[in-house]
């Protein structure tokens, strides 16, 4: 009896990101880049491929892919699909191709960890735990082809399946994987208000908050650390966007224009592309919602009906990847145009900075369009994002920690004096502690407190002004205690903001 090639079955056994892969029984691994993997799988039978999976990031995605291939040495060929703008921006597939054709060298990643760096114009890393000779073995043993459309993937895979089956090029090889753990402090689970002047600053504060108090929980993608409802308020992102020097954000300025177009511009439905936010906003519901909001606010700048919706109730039934960004509200107050957006689920490490920049671009666009049509000067107000599941995936924990270690202290050191809750002037008068509460900037007196006990006064202030800044509250506690000491021990003289001095 002759055995036809299709009778051979190989079991693909994924060791990493198993639930993100479509596994089959053939010898060809298909890497779909940013194209939805199911849109390739539907044209093939499971005997025709070994595995089908996405490759998003050259720094984080190539290592698990190579580890899985080493654990499955029956894979003889790779078909690498690069067909979307996102593939060009992220460069994952290009970097993988460069690994195969140009190799790699020893180096360190941007947090100082030893890694293999791929010889490519795109920055890509491979875990140092995989020995160099093993990486050379995989480069010599696997054949590969780059293709630019789903139909070409299918044709090529079918062609490969006509050929003789190949012998495995090695025994399965598995290498250790160092997973970083997290020391978590107690903290509230729900609703965190995090404010920063720029997207970059706010991002570092978000990373710090999730890494220190977020709950670690399993998800279908592996582990992540999560807080529920992070309300991020970006107060002063400049119109041309701030990128720190050196840039510690996970995005580059060149990437942002393409991303902005995904939020601002309509796009037609294409196989393999999930959706774009622009499409949801401009045409999905047969209305241009961005234009609706502009028209509404031109006719009534105070309207509280400026809502854009991206969530379609049908997403429950027929969308494997329903939009993470769900609602956007525009609201003007004191001539400031603010934008608030809600996300059902938000990857705060890899996605939030570009999400925030895209939304800021939308906010600027809407403000300028309204400005052009009305006789009223508008200012750009804050950008607010509400992320219901605000999470960081475990493969980013180490990077997140390094960024927090490098940047958080510096950011916190920048003094911000203006507490929107106002200021407090403390003196000793008539043998009592006397406190005046004044408005920020204009300094009008709105309330006063007096008594002999610091504790009673600060408790009352905390009850009256629960929105007071945390550092401001701590400062007031220590100032009031100093005043109480001076009241009790007449040899000391009290002066706000000055060290305790003995009266001469």
Q: Which is nearer to ligand UMP, 325 or 476 (CB)?
A: 325
345 lies in the binding site for ligand UMP (CB under 6 A): yes
Task: Give min distance, CB of 294 to ligand UMP, in A.
Answer: 23
Task: Give min distance, CB of 138 to ligand UMP, in A.
Answer: 29
Stretch touching ligand UMP by CB under 6 A, among 107-115, 208-216, 311-319, 320-328: 320-328
Among 351, 412, 428, 438, binds ligand UMP (CB under 6 A): 351
Q: Which residues contact 246 (CB under 8 A, 6 or more apart)?
A: none
321 lies in the binding site for ligand UMP (CB under 6 A): yes
Stretch touching ligand UMP by CB under 6 A, among 33-41, 344-352, 396-404, 488-496: 344-352
As given in the structure block, the two tokens for residue 30 are 């298909």
Q: Which residues contact 146 (CB under 8 A, 6 or more apart)?
A: 80, 82, 93, 97
Task: Give min distance, CB of 307 to ligand UMP, in A.
Answer: 19
| Omega within 30 of 0 (cis) for the link into 436 | no
As given in the structure block, the two tokens for residue 116 are 């293999």
Distance CA(473)–CA(57), nearest Å, equals: 43
342 lies in the binding site for ligand UMP (CB under 6 A): no
As given in the structure block, the two tokens for residue 430 are 């008539």
Residues 381 and 163 sit within 8 Å (Cβ to Cβ): no
Residues 275 and 323 sit within 8 Å (Cβ to Cβ): yes
Count of residues touching ligand UMP (by CB under 6 A):
8
How crowded is residue 345: how many other Cβ atoms within 10 Å of its Cβ? 17
| Phi-psi map region of 206: left, alpha, beta (phi>0 left; psi -120 to 50 alpha) | alpha
Q: Which is nearer to ligand UMP, 168 or 345 (CB)?
A: 345
Paired with 107 in beta bridges are: 115
48 lies in the binding site for ligand UMP (CB under 6 A): no
210 lies in the binding site for ligand UMP (CB under 6 A): no
Residue of minimal CB distance from ligand UMP?
351
Rounded to the nearest 5°, which phi and psi values hold at 237? Answer: -60, 125
Q: Which is nearer to ligand UMP, 86 or 127 (CB)?
A: 86
Task: Give min distance, CB of 351 to ligand UMP, in A.
Answer: 3
The single residue listed with the structure tokens 């089908």 is 52
227 lies in the binding site for ligand UMP (CB under 6 A): no
How crowded is residue 436: how many other Cβ atoms within 10 Å of its Cβ? 17
Among 207, 324, 396, 404, binds ligand UMP (CB under 6 A): 324
CA 143 to chain centre: 35
Q: Which is nearer to ligand UMP, 26 or 214 (CB)?
A: 214
Among 325, 359, 386, 404, binds ligand UMP (CB under 6 A): 325
347 lies in the binding site for ligand UMP (CB under 6 A): yes
What residues make contact with ligand UMP under the rule CB under 6 A? 321, 324-325, 345-347, 351, 355
């Amino acid at each position: 009896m002759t055995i036809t090639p299709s009778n051979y079955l190989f079991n693909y056994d994924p060791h990493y990101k198993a639930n993100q892969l479509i596994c089959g029984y053939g010898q060809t691994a298909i890497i779909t880049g940013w194209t939805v993997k199911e849109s390739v799988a539907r044209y093939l039978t499971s005997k025709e491929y070994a595995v089908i999976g996405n490759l998003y990031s050259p720094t984080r995605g190539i290592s698990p892919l190579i580890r899985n291939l080493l654990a499955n040495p029956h894979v003889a060929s790779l078909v690498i699909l690069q067909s979307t703008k996102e593939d060009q921006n992220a460069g994952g597939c290009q970097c993988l191709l460069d690994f195969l054709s140009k190799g790699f060298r020893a180096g360190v990643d941007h947090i100082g960890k030893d890694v293999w760096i791929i010889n490519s114009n795109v920055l890509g890393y491979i875990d140092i735990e995989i020995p160099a000779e093993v990486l050379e073995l995989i480069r010599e043993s696997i054949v590969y082809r780059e293709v630019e459309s789903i139909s070409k993937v299918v044709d090529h895979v079918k062609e490969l399946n006509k050929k003789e089956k190949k012998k495995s090029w090695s025994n399965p090889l598995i290498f250790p994987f160092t997973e970083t753990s997290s020391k978590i402090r107690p903290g509230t689970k729900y609703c965190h208000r995090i404010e920063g002047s720029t997207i970059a600053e706010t991002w570092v504060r978000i990373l710090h908050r999730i890494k220190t108090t977020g709950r670690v929980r399993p998800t279908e993608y592996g582990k992540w650390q999560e807080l529920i409802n992070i309300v991020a308020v970006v107060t002063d992102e400049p119109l041309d966007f701030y990128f720190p020097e050196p840039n510690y954000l996970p995005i580059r300025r060149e990437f942002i224009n393409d991303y902005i177009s995904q939020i601002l511009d309509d796009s037609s439905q294409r196989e393999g592309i999930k959706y774009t936010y622009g499409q949801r906003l401009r045409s999905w519901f047969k209305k241009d919602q961005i234009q609706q909001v502009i028209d509404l606010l031109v006719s009534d700048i105070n309207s509280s009906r400026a809502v854009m919706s991206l969530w379609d109730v049908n997403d429950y039934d027929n969308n494997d990847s329903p939009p993470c960004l769900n609602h956007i509200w525009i609201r003007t107050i004191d001539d400031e145009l603010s934008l608030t957006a809600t996300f059902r689920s938000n990857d705060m490490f890899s996605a939030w900075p570009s999400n925030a920049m895209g939304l800021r671009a939308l906010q600027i666009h809407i403000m300028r369009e309204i400005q052009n049509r009305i006789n009223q000067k508008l200012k750009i107000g804050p950008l607010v994002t509400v992320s219901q599941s605000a999470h960081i995936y475990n493969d980013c924990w180490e990077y997140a920690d390094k960024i927090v270690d490098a940047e958080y202290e510096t950011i916190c050191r920048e003094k911000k004096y203006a507490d929107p809750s106002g200021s407090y002037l403390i003196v000793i008068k008539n043998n009592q502690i006397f406190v005046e509460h004044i408005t920020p900037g204009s300094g009008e007196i709105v309330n006063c407190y007096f008594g002999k006990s610091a504790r009673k006064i600060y408790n009352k202030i905390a009850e009256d002004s629960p929105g007071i800044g945390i550092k401001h509250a701590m400062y007031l506690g220590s100032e009031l205690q100093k005043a109480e000491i001076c009241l009790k021990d007449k040899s000391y003289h009290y002066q706000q903001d000055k060290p305790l001095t003995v009266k001469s």
